[in-house]
Amino acid sequence: MSTFPPVDEQMRILMRGVDFGDEQTYKNMEKELRQRLQESYDTGRPLRVYCGYDPSSPDLHLGHTISMRKLRQFQDLGHDVTFLIGTFTGMVGDPSDKESARRQQTLADALSKAQSYAEQAFRVLDRARTRIRYNHEWLQKLSFGDVVGLASNFTVQQFLARENFAKRYEKGDAIWLHEFFYALMQGYDAVAQETDVQIGGTDQLFNLMAGRKLMEAHGMRPQVVLTFPILEGTDGVLRMSKSTGNSIGIDEPPGVIFTKVLNLPDHVMRNYAQLVTRWEQDTIDALFAQVAAGQMEMRELKHKLAWEIVSIFHGDEAANQAAEDARRMFEGQAPSDAPTFTLTAPMNILDVLLEGGVVKSKGEARRLVEQNGVRLNGEIVTAKELMLTPEAGEQVLQAGKRKFLRVLPAALP
């Protein structure tokens, strides 16, 4: 008897959320995945599944977890999962979502940033069942002749047909030759690992298909590819990215994650609910139906979503505390983890903001006050000359939406 669940059950789980933007590709990959799963079920051999993550920054964000959650599903179904860190591809940078060349980094840079990736990955993946690998292990060993051999499987026209390259070509912007190498390197990752299934975002489809082509060129059975929608960032416009400042890091404090989710634009809520929660589709549909019918405010749904996301990465207790802190901040009170500043003598409010670490400069503090961005005990501060005194007792300063400072009087002698 097979150790794997029935194929139909696996397909129901694994195909959820898959999107290629093309119906025929969907049908082809669905058919191939079913065949692989049936063979796995019959033989008892788990499928080899992986997804690659370039260490462009030291932190993973919610956008990364979409593919990671799919890897976890494969794990839970009994398959062999590799979390691949692109220490070599990260030297070039994936041009798939860019309309200009990325800044190159060294292997040392990539390795340094990669150190935190593996540990953060275990917030989603099963530590005991995850293989961590680095693609410089095989890519830096390729000779120039090997690279020529890989390149001979593709035409320049194929690369220029890609939307991002086509736009740059039309505008006369530079397209650097090394950017073409990225797809070759990612494609070779599949060859080196003899992959059955590779996972990625919809913007990665060209690179994933390059892996299929290179596997065929090496006499291998081409991998199945599964792609998923891109998560929009906190601005609700651009894809989530640390470099554009619109990301939610999975290692950020619970209160920060909770607050960022509460401030998301309404129109991205379904995108987040479907891509980064543990909710079943029926639950998601029911929640949004309640909002549409006026039975639930969108803010309440955001609270539920924020609690769910914090719970995934930090646990229920942290989610409960973050929810309580969000309530306190809404009422103008400081959250439980707000920093404190001890006031020993009367001090100008700008100096308190600076010395309390809420702002980086006195000029920033001055601008915040001028823009009505500072509150004292819930009331907007309009005077830059305002003095805080120890005699006033404990006071709460708020700068912007998320930064709080508890101002405490010095203990009496």
pLDDT of residue 1 exceeding 80: no
Query: Are 216 and 243 spatial neighbours (Cβ–Cβ below 8 Å)?
Result: no
**pLDDT for residue 237:** 86
Same domain, 28 and 116: yes
Query: Are 296 and 313 spatial neighbours (Cβ–Cβ below 8 Å)?
Result: no
pLDDT tens-digit map of 142-182:
999 999 999 999 988 888 888 778 888 888 888 888 888 88
- Mean of the pLDDT values across residues 83-101? 71
Same domain, 174 and 119: yes
Q: Domain for residue 88, yes or no? A: yes
Final residue belonging to a domain, choices 186, 212, 228 = 228
pLDDT band at 255 (very low <50, low <70, confident <90, very high): confident
- Mean of the pLDDT values across residues 319-332? 80
For residue 32 the two structure tokens come to: 């191939």
For residue 354 the two structure tokens come to: 């600076």
Distance CA 69, CA 274 (A): 12
Q: Domain for residue 1, yes or no? A: no
Same domain, 170 and 303: no
SS3 assignment, position 63:
helix
**pLDDT for residue 256:** 85
pLDDT band at 96 (very low <50, low <70, confident <90, very high): low
Quick one: DSSP state of residue 267? Answer: G
- Give the CATH number, domain containing residue 293: 1.10.240.10
Q: Which of 156-165, 316-325, 341-350 has the lowest mean pLDDT?
A: 156-165
What's the chain's average pLDDT?
A: 87
Same domain, 315 and 400: no
As to burial, measured by CB atoms within 10 angstroms (0-12 exposed, 13-18 middle, 19+ buried), residue 83 is buried
Q: What is the 3-state secondary structure (H, E, C) of 309-374?
A: HHHHHHCHHHHHHHHHHHHHHHCCCCCCCCCEEEECCCEEHHHHHHHCCCCCCHHHHHHHHHCCCE
pLDDT band at 413 (very low <50, low <70, confident <90, very high): very low
Distance CA 208, CA 187 (A): 6
pLDDT tens-digit map of 347-371:
898 888 888 888 888 888 898 888 8
Residue that wins the pLDDT comparison between 346 and 56: 346
Q: Domain for residue 240, yes or no? A: no
pLDDT of residue 34 exceeding 70: yes
**pLDDT for residue 316:** 93
- Mean of the pLDDT values across residues 380-409? 83
Q: Domain for residue 239, yes or no? A: no
What amino acid is encoded at 310 in this protein? V
Category of 17 on φ-ψ map: left (φ > 0), alpha (ψ -120 to 50) or beta: left
Same domain, 259 and 389: no
pLDDT of residue 99 exceeding 50: no
Return phi, psi of residue 22, to 5°.
Answer: -150, 120
Q: Domain for residue 244, yes or no? A: no
As to burial, measured by CB atoms within 10 angstroms (0-12 exposed, 13-18 middle, 19+ buried), residue 402 is middle
Same domain, 148 and 187: yes
What amino acid is encoded at 96 in this protein? S
Q: Domain for residue 322, yes or no? A: yes
Q: What is the 3-state secondary structure (H, E, C) of 184-211?
A: HHHHHHHHHHCCCEEEEEHHHHHHHHHH
Distance CA 405, CA 352 (A): 9
Final residue belonging to a domain, choices 330, 356, 390 = 330
For residue 214 the two structure tokens come to: 């290179």
Same domain, 71 and 186: yes
pLDDT band at 3 (very low <50, low <70, confident <90, very high): confident
- Distances in Å between the Cα of 36 and the Cα atoms of 197, 206, 336 are 9, 22, 51
Same domain, 158 and 294: no
Same domain, 286 and 197: no
pLDDT of residue 341 exceeding 90: no
Final residue belonging to a domain, choices 308, 330, 352 = 330
pLDDT tens-digit map of 258-302:
888 988 999 999 989 988 998 888 899 999 999 999 999 999 999
Helices (H) and strands (E) in the chain, counts: 18, 12
Q: Domain for residue 245, yes or no? A: no
Domain count, the chain: 3
Same domain, 178 and 298: no
Q: Which domain holds residue 220?
A: 7-228
**pLDDT for residue 100:** 44
SS3 assignment, position 130:
strand
**pLDDT for residue 172:** 85
List of residues 6+ apart from 216 with CB closer than 8 A: 222
Quick one: DSSP state of residue 100? Answer: S
Q: Domain for residue 301, yes or no? A: yes
- Mean of the pLDDT values across residues 84-97? 76
Distance CA 85, CA 88 (A): 9
- Give the CATH number, domain containing residue 69: 3.40.50.620
Same domain, 206 and 307: no
Same domain, 39 and 181: yes
**Interior/surface letters 190-216, b for 16+ CB within 10 angstroms, e for the rest:** bbbbebbbbbbbebbbbbbbbbbbbbe
- Give the CATH number, domain containing residue 397: 3.10.290.10
